[in-house]
Amino acid sequence: MAIVGAGPAGLTCAYFLAKMGYKTTVYEAQPLGGGMLGIAVPEFRLPRYVIEEEIDYIKNCGVDILYDSPIDATHTVNDLLSEGFRAVFIAPGAQASMRTGIPGEEEELAGVYYGLKFLTDVRTGADIRLQGKVIVIGGGNVAIDAARTALRVGAGDVQIFYRRTREEMPAWEKDIEEALEEGIVLNLHWAPKRILHHNGKVTGMEFVQSQTKYDDDGRARLSVDDKTVQRVDAEAVIISIGQAPDVSFLSRDSQIERSLWGSLEVNANTLATNIPGIFSGGDFITGPSTVIQAIASGRRAAIAINKYIHGDASRVEIIDEKTAMPSEAGLALEDETAKDQARVDVDLEKPEDRVKDFREVEKGYAQNDEAHREAKRCLRCDLERERREL
Domains detected in the chain: 2-94+245-309 (3.50.50.60), 97-239 (3.50.50.60), 327-389 (no CATH)
| Count of Cβ atoms closer than 10 Å to residue 75 Cβ | 15
Average the pLDDT over 331-346 and give the result.
66
To 10 degrees, what angle do helices 291-309 and 8-19 make? 40
Please tell me the least confidently modeled range out of 61-75, 230-244, 255-269. 255-269
DSSP state of 125: T
Nearest CA to 10 among 41, 49, 36, 47?
A: 36
pLDDT-derived band at 248 (thresholds 50, 70, 90) equals confident
> In whole angstroms, what is the distance from residue 86 CA to residue 317 CA?
22
pLDDT-derived band at 217 (thresholds 50, 70, 90) equals confident
What pLDDT does residue 212 have? 86
Do 259 and 267 meet the contact criterion of CB atoms below 8 Å apart? Answer: no
> In whole angstroms, what is the distance from residue 284 CA to residue 34 CA?
15
What pLDDT does residue 341 have? 75
What pLDDT does residue 25 have? 98
* Residue pLDDT, tens place only, 308-338: 999 999 999 988 776 665 555 555 555 555 5
Scanning the chain, the segments in alpha helix (DSSP H) are 8-19, 36-39, 48-60, 77-82, 115-123, 141-152, 173-181, 283-286, 291-309, 351-354, 368-378, 382-389
pLDDT-derived band at 253 (thresholds 50, 70, 90) equals low
What pLDDT does residue 250 have? 80
* Residue pLDDT, tens place only, 153-205: 999 999 999 999 999 999 999 999 999 999 999 999 999 999 999 999 999 99
Average the pLDDT over 256-272 and give the result.
88
pLDDT-derived band at 386 (thresholds 50, 70, 90) equals very low
Do 133 and 235 meet the contact criterion of CB atoms below 8 Å apart? Answer: yes
> In whole angstroms, what is the distance from residue 84 CA to residue 72 CA?
18
